[in-house]
Amino acid sequence: MEIYLDNSATTRVSRAAADAAFSVMTENYGNPSAVHSSGVRAGAVLENSRRSVASMLGAEPSEIYFSHSGTLANNTAIFSAVNLRRKMGNRIVTTKTEHPSVARCMDVLEEQGFQVIRLSPGKNGAFQTDELINAVNKNTILVSAMLVNNETGSINPVELIERAVKRVSSPALIHVDAIQAFGKMPVRPSKMGIDLLTVSGHKVHAPKGVGALYVRKNLNIKPVIYGGGQENGLFSGTEPLPAIAGFGAAVNNLGDPRKNLEAMKQKKSYLLSLLRDEKRIVINSPADGLPNIINMSVTGIPSQVLINYLSERGIYISAGSACKRGHRSEVLTALGLPANLIDSAVRVSMSGQTTDEELEIFAAAVKEAIKSIRTKL
């Protein structure tokens, strides 16, 4: 029996998504840009998936653009926003706990001469409101902050960014990386004052190779890659229709994010109850974070040692972001955690497919590891 608890890295493709992708690959395989009947049918699949993603976000289908990954969507949002506003100012506000697909963009912009302000996380891992307000001024052209942190589950109050921007009449556009939040909690960019918002398929049981970017209506951003003009020119290149069809089907199967959130809170509570008596376990995730993600340290056991121990028993977790293996977590470092907790930190991330039995087996295996590895160290 394999127990997969690394759902923040990627998820198992749902049957509905796999069936939709298979159908496109073997039956409805036309190029959606073609004008013949096969292309028209493929185009209908593309638009049905667009409507599904839009509905989950409370957006209009015309505001959704499919990309080949969440990383590409983040890069496009950031560089396009800066290019659109660069004549209005030079300041960019972000956080110290962003995913590498945002953080590395900020490094590049800083090298190009932009002033990048990185907000520090508070005790709960979210940016602090006062620091945000002080950072945004009339010279700010972009504010970019993730909604849910991929390593700790901390939730940033991104709905406050619009208030900070309007307070000083800033021309700043607001970008939110909602890749970890999408489908797991209510996300409504139009109600949250968000101009650009990124989601990804493989975090919600769709195939890898597809993401999407929400672009607020009437916001005319320019692409950062050029080609055949697909997705209204924003993401050129033949659309990965099997993945897009799977994305649409997976979203249709997600259900109500509010109910998903409540169900996951119960799973988190149950898992923590199973681990509560083990004194060497320290929970690094905040109590009010997204319950799907639990970052914890087993003191005295290096992260990779515990990961290997569990992997040998068919239980899969991670040491943090799957995008930065072999590096000490910048997120946990920004939180000010001591080195011993950072070096022993692991991330357990659940999905709606996670069962109580799997959590019980995981908890038992961790307790066995503490006894076994402690003896050997």
Predicted confidence band of residue 328 (pLDDT cuts 50, 70, 90): confident
Q: What is the DSSP string of 172-194?
A: -EEEEE-TTTTTTS---TTTTT-
Alpha-carbon torsion angle 18, 266, 56, 235, nearest 10: -60
SS3 152: coil
Return the structure tokens found at 341.
Answer: 């907790």
- Sequence-distant (≥ 6) Cβ neighbours of residue 321 within 8 angstroms: 99, 100, 150, 151, 329, 331
**Which residue shows structure tokens 């989950």?**
56
Supply angle C-alpha 258, 158, 171, rounded to 5: 140
pLDDT of residue 326: 55
pLDDT of residue 238 exceeding 70, the answer is yes
Residue 59: phi and psi, rounded to 5, are: -110, 170
pLDDT of residue 375: 55
64 DSSP β-pair partners: 214
Q: Which of 136-140, 257-261, 306-310, 322-326 has the lowest mean pLDDT?
A: 322-326
| Number of neighbouring beta carbons within 10 Å of residue 86 | 14
Describe the strand order of the beta sheet including 196-200 as a list of residue ranges.
Answer: 64-67, 211-215, 196-200, 173-177, 140-146, 91-95, 115-119
- CA atoms of 349 and 202, how far apart (whole Å): 14
User: Quick one: which of 167, 177, 16 has its CA closest to 95?
Assistant: 177
- Sequence-distant (≥ 6) Cβ neighbours of residue 368 within 8 angstroms: none
HSE-CB at 320 with a 13 A cutoff on CA atoms is 25
pLDDT of residue 325: 55
- CA atoms of 23 and 245, how far apart (whole Å): 9
**Which residue shows structure tokens 């983040």?**
74
- CA atoms of 145 and 118, how far apart (whole Å): 10
pLDDT 10s digits, 269-286: 999 999 999 999 999 999
274 within 8 A of 316, measured Cβ to Cβ:
no
- CA atoms of 365 and 77, how far apart (whole Å): 42
Return the structure tokens found at 190.
Answer: 């139009």
pLDDT of residue 1: 85
pLDDT 10s digits, 25-66: 999 999 999 999 999 999 999 999 999 999 999 999 999 999
* Catalytic residue status for 105: no
Return the structure tokens found at 40.
Answer: 């028209």
| Crossing angle of helices 356-376 and 257-275, rounded to 10° | 40
pTM of the model: 0.95
114 within 8 A of 91, measured Cβ to Cβ:
yes
SS3 196: strand
Return the structure tokens found at 282.
Answer: 């320290």
The active-site residue, picked from 88, 322, 323, 364, is: 323
pLDDT 10s digits, 172-191: 999 999 999 999 999 999 99
User: Quick one: which of 192, 200, 180 has its CA closest to 261?
Assistant: 180
